[in-house]
C-alpha cells in the first residue's frame, strides 16, 4: 500500500510517499478500512512542520474516511462495504472528557490516515453520513466535531441564539452552518472582504472585517444592540480573547478552540468576571458525540465546504496552501 511518512523532527520537505507492506487481515474487534480521503487541520500542520514533533516515520493526518473491506471476530457495528470515518480520540468512547494530550491521536501519537489501508479497532470509527464523498466525510473527524461540541454539547445552542465565529477556517465555517441550520444568527469575522462575502452567502447575518475594525468586540456588541453574543467560537487564542470577552453577552459562553495567535498570553480576568461568562477549552469530542453529529448532519442536510482537494502525493503542497491562509473552509486530500 502507499503511505506518506514524516522524518523526524519534521518539516514539509520531510514528507515522503512510499510503498509499505499490506497490513493483512483484521483481528478480533478490528476492521480493515480502504482509505480514500482525509482533510487538513492546524494540528496536522503543527506536527508535519515540526512545531509539534512526533516519532520518526510517523504516518500523519488525524482525519480518515473510507470503506470497510473486512471485519474481525466480534465486530457488530459495521459490515463489509460500509462507509466509515475515523475518530480523533479513538479511546474516548463516551462521557465527559478523559484525555488531555495527543498520545493516542492518529497522525501524532499513533499513525494517522495518510495511507491506503488501516486496520484498527472498530471503535476507532463511526459510520459516515449517507451519500457523502470520502473527502467530505473526513472533514467530520476534527473540524466538524469540534464545532458541534462547542455549540451544542458544551454551549447548549438553541434556536434564536446569536453566534460569533472568528475567521473562515474549517471549524468556523462548520459552526456557521450548524448555527444557521438550528435557527440562529451568526456574526462572522475575517480580514478578507471576499471571504466575508462567501460567509454571507452561507447565511452569516453580519460580517466584520477585523483589519478595518480592530476593536471588533465593540462592533459585535453594537450589532446585537449592546447585549453581546450567546456563544463565541474562539479559534485565535491570546491575540483575540480580549475582543471575544468584549463581544460575549453577560453569562455567555466562549469556546476556546484554537491557538492561531500563540499558546500563551494575558487574560483580562476582570472583564471575564464582569461578564460572568464561561470560558471553556475543548479538544474535539468523543465517539458518541461524533455519532450524534453524523445523525444531525443527515437530518439538517449540511455538507462541508471544501475549498480545494489535493492528491496524496501532493500532501506537502496541501500544507503549503494551508500555510498561505488563502483557504475558505476545509482543504481535502483524496486518493
| pLDDT of amino acid 259 | 79
Does residue 242 belong to any structural domain of this protein? yes
Residues 134 and 168 in one domain: no
CA-nearest of 290, 91, 316, 286 to 174 is 290
Tell me how far apart the alpha carbons of residues 35 and 116 are, in angstroms, rounded to a whole number.
5
Residues 25 and 135 in one domain: yes
Centroid of chain to Cα 313? 22
| pLDDT of amino acid 263 | 80
Tell me how far apart the alpha carbons of residues 265 and 197 are, in angstroms, rounded to a whole number.
32
Start-to-end CA distance of the chain, whole Å, equals 12
| pLDDT of amino acid 254 | 98
Residues 158 and 249 in one domain: yes
Does residue 286 belong to any structural domain of this protein? no
Does residue 216 belong to any structural domain of this protein? yes
Tell me how far apart the alpha carbons of residues 261 and 46 are, in angstroms, rounded to a whole number.
13
Residue ranges with strand state E in 72-223: 83-86, 117-121, 125-127, 162-166, 185-190, 206-209
Does residue 287 belong to any structural domain of this protein? no
Residues 119 and 148 in one domain: no
The three-class DSSP label of residue 260 is: coil
Residues 182 and 63 in one domain: no
The region that residue 80 occupies, defined by phi over 0 for left and psi between -120 and 50 for alpha, beta otherwise, is beta
Tell me how far apart the alpha carbons of residues 75 and 71 are, in angstroms, rounded to a whole number.
6
Does residue 293 belong to any structural domain of this protein? no
Residues 196 and 239 in one domain: yes
pLDDT one digit per residue (tens) for the chain, 335 residues: 999 999 999 999 999 999 999 999 999 999 999 999 999 999 999 999 999 999 999 999 999 999 999 999 999 999 999 999 999 999 999 999 989 999 999 999 999 999 999 999 999 999 999 999 999 999 999 999 999 999 999 999 999 999 999 999 999 999 999 999 999 999 999 999 999 999 999 999 999 999 999 999 999 999 999 999 999 999 998 999 999 999 999 999 999 998 777 788 888 999 999 999 999 999 999 999 999 999 999 999 999 999 999 999 999 999 999 999 999 999 999 99
Angstrom distances, CA of residue 32 to CA of 83, 106, 229: 12, 16, 45
Tell me how far apart the alpha carbons of residues 185 and 205 are, in angstroms, rounded to a whole number.
6
Does residue 292 belong to any structural domain of this protein? no
Residues 29 and 92 in one domain: yes
Residues 165 and 266 in one domain: yes
Residues 267 and 152 in one domain: yes
Domain assignment of residue 313, given as a range: 2-139+304-334
| pLDDT of amino acid 214 | 96
Within 10 angstroms of residue 186's Cβ, the number of other Cβ atoms is 27
Q: How many residues does the chain have?
A: 335
Which cell goes with 51?
Answer: 512545531
Give the count of domains, the chain.
Answer: 2
Q: Enumerate residues 6+ apart whose C-beta is below 8 A from 171.
A: 143, 146, 147, 150, 233, 235, 257, 258
Residues 160 and 125 in one domain: no
Tell me how far apart the alpha carbons of residues 225 and 273 are, in angstroms, rounded to a whole number.
21
Residues 125 and 153 in one domain: no
Does residue 299 belong to any structural domain of this protein? no
Tell me how far apart the alpha carbons of residues 191 and 262 are, in angstroms, rounded to a whole number.
18
Angstrom distances, CA of residue 19 to CA of 2, 22, 43, 228, 243: 5, 9, 25, 54, 49
Does residue 196 belong to any structural domain of this protein? yes
Helix axis angle for 315-323 and 42-49, nearest 10°, is 110
pTM score of the predicted model: 0.97
Centroid of chain to Cα 296? 16
Within 10 angstroms of residue 18's Cβ, the number of other Cβ atoms is 9
CA triplet 120, 122, 126: central angle to 5 degrees? 115
Residues 41 and 169 in one domain: no
The CATH number of residue 186's host domain is 3.40.50.720
The CATH number of residue 11's host domain is 3.90.180.10
Amino acid at each position: 500500500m502507499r503511505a506518506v511518512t514524516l522524518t523526524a523532527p519534521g518539516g514539509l520537505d520531510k514528507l515522503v510517499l512510499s510503498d509499505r507492506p499490506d497490513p493483512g487481515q483484521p483481528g478480533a474487534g478490528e476492521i480493515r478500512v480502504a482509505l480514500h480521503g482525509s482533510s487538513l487541520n492546524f494540528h496536522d500542520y503543527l506536527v508535519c512542520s515540526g512545531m509539534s514533533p512526533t516519532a520518526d516515520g510517523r504516518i500523519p493526518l488525524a482525519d480518515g474516511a473510507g470503506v470497510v473491506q473486512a471485519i474481525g471476530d466480534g465486530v457488530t457495528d459495521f459490515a463489509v462495504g460500509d462507509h466509515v470515518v475515523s475518530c480523533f480520540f479513538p479511546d474516548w468512547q463516551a462521557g465527559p472528557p478523559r484525555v488531555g494530550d495527543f498520545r493516542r491521536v492518529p497522525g501524532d501519537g499513533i499513525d494517522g490516515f495518510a495511507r491506503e489501508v488501516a486496520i484498527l479497532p472498530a471503535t476507532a470509527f463511526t459510520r459516515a453520513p449517507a451519500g457523502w464523498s470520502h473527502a467530505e466525510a473526513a472533514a467530520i473527524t476534527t473540524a466538524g466535531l469540534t464545532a458541534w461540541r462547542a455549540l451544542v454539547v458544551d454551549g447548549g445552542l438553541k434556536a434564536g441564539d446569536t453566534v460569533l465565529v472568528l475567521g473562515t477556517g474549517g471549524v468556523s465555517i462548520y459552526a456557521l452552518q450548524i448555527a444557521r441550520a438550528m435557527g440562529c444568527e451568526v456574526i462572522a469575522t475575517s480580514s478578507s472582504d471576499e471571504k466575508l462575502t462567501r460567509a454571507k452567502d452561507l447565511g452569516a447575518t453580519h460580517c466584520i472585517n477585523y483589519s478595518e475594525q480592530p476593536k471588533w468586540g465593540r462592533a459585535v456588541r453594537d450589532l446585537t444592540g449592546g447585549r453581546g453574543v450567546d456563544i463565541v467560537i474562539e479559534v485565535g487564542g491570546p491575540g483575540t480573547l480580549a475582543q471575544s470577552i468584549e463581544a460575549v453577552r453577560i453569562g455567555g459562553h466562549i469556546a476556546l478552540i484554537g491557538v492561531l495567535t500563540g499558546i500563551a498570553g494575558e487574560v483580562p480576568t476582570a472583564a471575564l468576571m464582569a461578564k460572568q461568562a464561561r470560558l471553556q477549552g475543548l479538544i474535539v469530542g468523543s465517539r458518541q458525540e461524533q455519532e450524534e453529529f453524523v445523525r444531525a448532519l443527515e437530518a439538517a442536510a449540511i455538507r462541508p465546504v471544501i475549498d480545494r482537494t489535493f492528491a496524496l502525493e501532493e500532501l506537502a503542497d496541501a500544507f503549503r496552501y494551508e500555510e498561505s491562509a488563502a483557504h475558505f473552509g476545509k482543504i481535502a486530500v483524496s486518493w
